[in-house]
């Protein structure tokens, strides 16, 4: 089960966050900082799954943008990993390449109007 979905740039700024379980607002910032820190410290040789507290992070990097999904431990890692790519392809198609660069508002709108729940 997906717990949260984040898009964070290399500078550590969150460009998009969507939580599927309640997390208090002030704890979100902390969580996002730690999450991006653990992603940035990984090299290409390492796998795309990180055990973090009581859940798993699955991430993919697109240029300067990380997409990180937090899941519980019964989730299928590979399915989520590929889902992230699918999501990016859909964004790409939908916004014709404009948006990946900006990351921000349009993705937000996109996620909201389509209620990306999986």
CA–CA separation, 8 vs 1, rounded Å? 21
109 in contact with other proteins (CB under 8 A): yes
- Can you tell me which of 64, 76, 90, 101 binds other proteins, judged by CB under 8 A? 76
CB of 10 to other proteins, least distance (A): 20
Residue 67: count other Cβ atoms within 10 Å of its Cβ: 22
**In contact, 17 and 28? CB cutoff 8 Å:** yes
47 in contact with other proteins (CB under 8 A): yes
Cα angle value 105/21/18 (rounded, 5°): 10
40 in contact with other proteins (CB under 8 A): no
Q: Give me Rg for the CA atoms of the chain.
A: 13
61 in contact with other proteins (CB under 8 A): no
Between 1 and 64, name the residue whose CB sits nearer to other proteins.
1
Q: Give the position of tokens 């309640």.
A: 22
- Can you tell me which of 11, 25, 27, 41 binds other proteins, judged by CB under 8 A? 27
CA–CA separation, 50 vs 46, rounded Å? 10
Enumerate binding residues for other proteins (CB under 8 A): 20-22, 27, 43, 45-51, 54, 73-74, 76-79, 81-83, 85-86, 94-95, 98-99, 104-106, 108-109, 112-115, 117-118
């Amino acid at each position: 089960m997906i717990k949260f979905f984040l898009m964070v740039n290399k500078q550590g700024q969150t460009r998009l966050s969507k939580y599927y379980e309640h997390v208090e607002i002030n704890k979100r910032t902390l969580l996002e900082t730690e999450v991006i820190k653990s992603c940035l410290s990984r090299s290409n040789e390492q796998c795309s799954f990180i055990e973090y507290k009581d859940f798993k992070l699955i991430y993919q990097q697109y240029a300067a943008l990380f997409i990180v999904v937090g899941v519980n431990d019964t989730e299928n890692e590979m399915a989520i990993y590929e889902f992230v790519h699918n999501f990016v392809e859909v964004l790409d198609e939908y916004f014709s390449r404009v948006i990946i660069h900006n990351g921000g508002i349009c993705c937000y709108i996109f996620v909201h109007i389509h209620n990306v729940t999986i």
